[in-house]
Structure 1
Amino acid sequence: MPVDGTPDPHEVEIPFGTRLKLNRTRRGMTREVLGGLVGRSASWVKAVETGRLGTPKLSILLRLVEALRIRDLAELTGEQSVPVELFTGPGHALLPRVREAVNALPVGDPRPAPPPEHLRARLAGAWRARHSAPNHREVVGRLLPGLLEDAQRAVHQAEGASARARARSVLSQVCSLAQFFIAYQPAQGLLWRVAERGMAAAQESDDPHALGVAAWLLAQAHRDAGDWEAADAVTEDASRHLARHLPDGGRDVLAVWGALRFEAGYTAARRGEAGSAWRHWDTARRAAERLPASYYHPMTSFSRPVMGAHAVTVAVELRSGHEAVRQSGRAPAETIPSRPRRARHRIEQARAHRLAGQRDEALRVLEAAHEAAPETVRYNGFARRMVLEELESRGGHHRDRAGSLAERIGLLS
């Protein structure tokens, strides 16, 4: 025991309910919100926290870990250490190379940097490659080190305010691509470093499109960390900034503004605020309707088809299973041109079917997601959790199908 008399949490056995309450209040969640996220009532959460109910079974524990963004199951149980890789994805083999490129300093490098226009063309090619590849992290992970090194050298070697601003805009958008690679890997410190570097470069570039994309990703990072107020602050500040540029900003600025409005709705849905969530979604939908039917923003995926996918996500986060299934039927995945985004939509459709009690259909859709983009399923926490829950199923048919999928995405390795 410490000299001040305070119990050492490593020496004192803390009940599960107390651990749950500490983690919930640390995230600023009400019992109603946490209960909704795991498919239980506020009274159930209270009963667990006060000890009237014991430790839940593994499937519910995994839902709690996901909702509370906990890094290890032992933070809730005090034992049964299960690392984050079980439900957020492993570290990619190319992660060390990307980390090295992020950490490298261009100072003293005598090689001339490519011009920003050349870097933009390479960056556009990288996005096209990502959208068409089933193993998109493999593709992006090979392109990123060179892009990061050249973009940082371009900023360092730029002469004059205008050239430096163009180089910083490119660096910001390379950092955005890097966040897509790093996300859902056990590299949270690296993710935050890249997010903050991307935002700083965007602000210094005075490019509203680059700033909007950086803010869109930063808001997601805050929300995934459980800091919903910070996510809202970033979303609203960036939306106001981009709104001033909408009259002459072109399609891409409008698309990023629409993507930010949906992010506000997504965060509201996580809070359980149905009216606000659907209001923001509708604002984003109207922005998408102002874009050509064939338009697809390469970074945010903002487009008309993706608004249908977003509707499924809102309904799922609001724990409205039948509405989520209804929206799923109105949003076919085949209309989304990006393979990883199409797979992500199928994962959301699977969540909808599970909420509605349609477990066979949920597994079928998860299998289709894996066929479209195996890496998306392998690194997606929702997909991994659904497969783990099905492994506990009493029905042999469900267990066999889930076992086959678990083996393919690396859960059993």
Structure 2
Amino acid sequence: MSENLTIGERVAWYRRRRGMSQEALAGLVGRTSDWLGKAENNRIELDRLSVIRSLADALDVALGDLIGEPTLLDWTADSGTATVPALRAVLMDYRQLTPILSAPALDAEPPTLDELARELRSVFDAYQGSRFGYAAGRAPLLLTDALLAARQYDGDDRLRAHELLALSYQAAASVLTKIGEADLAWMAAERGLAAAQQSENYAITGSLFRSVAFALLSTGRHEPAMSLTEAAATYLQPHLNDGDGDVISSYGTLLLAGSMAAARAEDRATTRGYLAEADEAARRLGVDGNHLWTAFGPTNVAIHRVNTAMELGDVQVALDIGSELDTAALPVERRVRHMLDVARAFHVSGRHDAAVATVLNAERMAPDQVRHHYLSRQLVITWVRNTHGKPGFELHQLAKRMHVVG
């Protein structure tokens, strides 16, 4: 299916493929056929993931099928010509399943742990800089080197190698989630969690719990993500009194993932509870830090207040907090994700010019991220569809760069 369909048009396409009437589908999601007809014809916005997920469940399709993920990762000077397929090949290499299937005698010399740490930093920094092509292109070699190190080092070096392996899987899962490869992201997060447990490092294990939670979120499994948040938070709580910034940041970011899951499950009380706990963790940390590449701190908690408000339909709350929030201290990825929520709030409140300007500003900062995120794609498609006559020059050029018009 082409990329230039709105979510409503995708719903209509899959509904017809299933041989369902509008009345039948609307009944399954507790709506009227009039509501569904308007949604399919772009007269009602489908921008809340809780609603989209209910439609996906009723149609027996993946959430990504309705929001148009994944999209093609463009080749750039950063990415080269080996991106997601190369990463998929590494993740599906049968020799990763157990050392029994590997041939140690044929293994190359592993990198030093310092070299591996530098390689990991370059991929994570690229991810946080929204250079997803570069991160996807470098992740396969990073994972290969990290696996080799984890298998060949001994003693304390082996523990450190497993820390780096776990974080390498986390970096891969992070970029795969951003470009819509939810199933591969789950695979990377799951393997990262297994490696983290072998590292005996509480903070890194907590950080990988967060990756698994985000992988669940990306497939629309909100309730399991909330359950995981509860279990993982309980695991980390005994270690918070150590004052370790890595542990506090892993714990706080995990709660932020839980807040998103609760908001998408339309559970307001749990959303507020997770945000309050995350806020307390941010106060304990005291700064906008970036321990274990979490970007955790007071500002990231505020960003999630905006995000969850939008998921719950509290548009004015999102505008009150989000439009004046200073995110300059955070990595580009966090700043741009926040800008997309603010653009969405402007759009829903009828402030079209502000919404378009916000997306254009976000694109200048992070073209890869704006190109791949379902929010920006759906906003631009909707604006093009709803324009009477030819879209304005800036909007038309933006739509062409995002490949949502010819």
Give the CA deviation at 1:153. Answer: 0.8
Q: Which shows bigger deviation, 278-287 or 229-238?
A: 278-287
Give the CA deviation at 1:222. Answer: 1.4
CA change 1:180–1:284 in 2 (3 A) is same
| Aligned counterpart in structure 1 of residue 310 of structure 2, from 298, 307, 316 | 316
Alpha-carbon distance in structure 2 between the residues aligned to 1:346 and 1:231: 25
Alpha-carbon distance in structure 2 between the residues aligned to 1:53 and 1:131: 38
Alpha-carbon distance in structure 2 between the residues aligned to 1:194 and 1:289: 31
Q: Which shows bigger deviation, 145-154 or 278-287?
A: 278-287
1:334 matched to 2:328? The reply is yes
1:36-83: per-residue Cα shift (whole Å, max 9, x none)?
xxxxxxxxx2x12xx78646334368727955667x99x8599xxx96
SS where residue 241 of structure 2 aligns?
A: coil
CA change 1:223–1:189 in 2 (3 A) is closer
Name the counterpart of 2:123.
126
| Aligned counterpart in structure 2 of residue 234 of structure 1, from 218, 228, 231 | 228
| Aligned counterpart in structure 2 of residue 371 of structure 1, from 349, 357, 364 | 364
SS where residue 151 of structure 1 aligns?
A: helix
Alpha-carbon distance in structure 1 between the residues aligned to 2:17 and 2:310: 40
Alpha-carbon distance in structure 1 between the residues aligned to 2:278 and 2:225: 17
Name the counterpart of 1:3.
none
1:244 matched to 2:238? The reply is yes
Runs (5+) with no aligned partner, structure 1: 1-8, 25-30, 32-44
Alpha-carbon distance in structure 2 between the residues aligned to 1:359 and 1:248: 48
Name the counterpart of 1:392.
385
Name the counterpart of 1:408.
401
Name the counterpart of 2:86.
97
Alpha-carbon distance in structure 1 between the residues aligned to 2:25 and 2:73: 28
Q: Which shows bigger deviation, 316-325 or 219-228?
A: 219-228
1:224-249: per-residue Cα shift (whole Å, max 9, x none)?
32222210111111111111111226
Alpha-carbon distance in structure 1 between the residues aligned to 2:36 and 2:230: 40
Number of residues paired by the alignment? 375
Alpha-carbon distance in structure 2 between the residues aligned to 1:371 and 1:101: 32
Letter in 1 for 2:308: V
1:147 matched to 2:136? The reply is no
Alpha-carbon distance in structure 2 between the residues aligned to 1:299 and 1:118: 18
- Give me the CA root mean square deviation: 3.3
1:78-97: per-residue Cα shift (whole Å, max 9, x none)?
9xxx9668465324551122
**Mapping of 1:259-298 within 5 angstroms?**
259-298=253-292
1:89-110: per-residue Cα shift (whole Å, max 9, x none)?
3245511222223233372243
Name the counterpart of 1:344.
337
Name the counterpart of 2:21.
15
Give the CA deviation at 1:120. Answer: 2.2
Alpha-carbon distance in structure 1 between the residues aligned to 2:398 and 2:288: 34
CA change 1:360–1:271 in 2 (3 A) is same
SS where residue 39 of structure 2 aligns?
A: coil
1:198/1:214 contact within 8 Å kept:
yes
2:209/2:232 contact within 8 Å kept:
yes
**Mapping of 1:100-119 within 5 angstroms?**
100-104=89-93, 105=95, 107-108=102-103, 109-119=106-116
Letter in 1 for 2:46: R
Runs (5+) with no aligned partner, structure 2: 1-14, 76-82, 97-101
1:109-158: per-residue Cα shift (whole Å, max 9, x none)?
431212434322321233234334x5x11221232122100111112223
CA change 1:115–1:274 in 2 (3 A) is same
CA change 1:189–1:310 in 2 (3 A) is closer
Letter in 1 for 2:89: E
